[in-house]
Amino acid sequence: MDQLSAMQTFRRVVDLGSFSAAAEQAGMSHTVLSRQVKNLERHLGTQLLNRTTRRLQPTEAGALFYRHCVQILEQMQAMTLELSEHQQQPTGTLRLGVATAFGELELGRWLADFVERHPRLRIELNCTDRFVDLLEEDVDVCLRVTDHLPDSSLVARRLASSEVVLVASPAYLERHGLPDTPEALAQHPLLGYNRLPHPQRLRLSSATAHQEIQLPQRLSANSPMALRAAAIGGLGIASFDRFIVDDALGDGRLLRILVDWQLPARNLYAVYPQSRYLAPKVRAFLDYVQRYYATPRWLN
């Protein structure tokens, strides 16, 4: 008896609830599958399935055996894939989800290099500011910059920290003055990201104090890139993840304000479905971004 094949058959029958469905999926006859399970029961010396007219149910022994089957078969699959990984180049389509600002400002720095390293890989990019359901939408990896990840079965690998900075344009500060305390900041209009729970609230901290400031809102938007353009255009003060305004700070289009006060930092995560074994394309991508962001990218 091919015990591994019999275990695969038994797992398929339990998962699908009938020999007919299992036979159709496997492309084999009902008789062959039924004989495999009967031989397995004879070999183990116990009944594994209760057979009714409507559905098959595992016995207590069958349920125990099923759990071991799943574990053993997944380990076998993982071993087979892992042994062949060194001979495999990542191939197929890698489906990535990123926030719009990250897609516009960060991917251009390294995505071309990643693709050149893996010429047999195709990239399908989904840029959106909503939280993507990876399993529902068949996304392999999401890159998210956030201060909070919802509880889920997904794996979240932290890649980097992004400080959050307060900025304004030189033209705005020339017209309205430079706020030098959190209290003075409250007199200035805020450009707010309206996807936040409290877009007008800023939590500031220094070495010795913590303050929460409520600012009047001049403009709200659901796009960080639109808010960035508004800040550069001199409409008000705004807070951004550092990577969104790093270039504008570098060339002077925006200036940091209240530099002795900090906003809560956020983190860049690679989020992906939990699996005993990662496909080569996913592993290659995760390893690449882990190495890239190991060097701090957004510095004062």
Q: What are the DSSP calls for 116-178, one per residue?
A: HH-TTEEEEEEE-SSPP-HHHHT-SEEEEEES-----SSEEEEEEEEEEEEEE-HHHHHHH--
Of residues 87 and 143, more confidence is placed in: 143
Q: What percent of the chain has pLDDT over 70?
A: 93
**pLDDT of res. 96:** 93
d(CA 167, CA 189): 12
Q: Per-residue confidence at 53, pLDDT binned at 50, 70, 90?
A: low
Burial of 27 per CB tally in 10 Å (0-12, 13-18, 19+): exposed
d(CA 238, CA 219): 10
**pLDDT of res. 170:** 96
Q: Could you tell me if 294 and 270 are in contact, meaning their C-beta atoms sit under 8 angstroms apart?
A: no
**pLDDT of res. 173:** 93
Residue that is written with structure tokens 């489906």 in the block: 95
**pLDDT of res. 199:** 64
Helix and strand totals (H; E) in the chain: 12, 13
35 has a pLDDT exceeding 70: yes
**pLDDT of res. 6:** 86
**pLDDT of res. 181:** 86
Q: Per-residue confidence at 7, pLDDT binned at 50, 70, 90?
A: confident
Q: Which of 26-35, 54-63, 197-206, 230-239 has the highest mean pLDDT?
A: 230-239
114 has a pLDDT exceeding 80: yes
Residue 78, H or E segment: helix 60-85
How much is the mean pLDDT over the chain?
85
The mean per-residue pLDDT over the stretch 237-263 comes to: 91
The mean per-residue pLDDT over the stretch 124-135 comes to: 83
Q: What percent of the chain has pLDDT over 90?
A: 26
CA distances to 26, 38, 47, 98 from 51, in Å: 20, 12, 10, 49
Residue that is written with structure tokens 């069958």 in the block: 62
276 has a pLDDT exceeding 70: no
49: nearest Cα among 59, 34, 63: 59
Burial of 211 per CB tally in 10 Å (0-12, 13-18, 19+): middle
**pLDDT of res. 270:** 92
**Quick check: pTM over 0.75?**
no
**pLDDT of res. 196:** 73
Of residues 126 and 131, more confidence is placed in: 126
153 has a pLDDT exceeding 80: no
85 has a pLDDT exceeding 70: no
**pLDDT of res. 206:** 81
Domains and CATH numbers, the chain: 3-85 (1.10.10.10), 92-160+267-292 (3.40.190.10), 162-265 (3.40.190.10)
Structure-token pair, residue 215: 């600012």
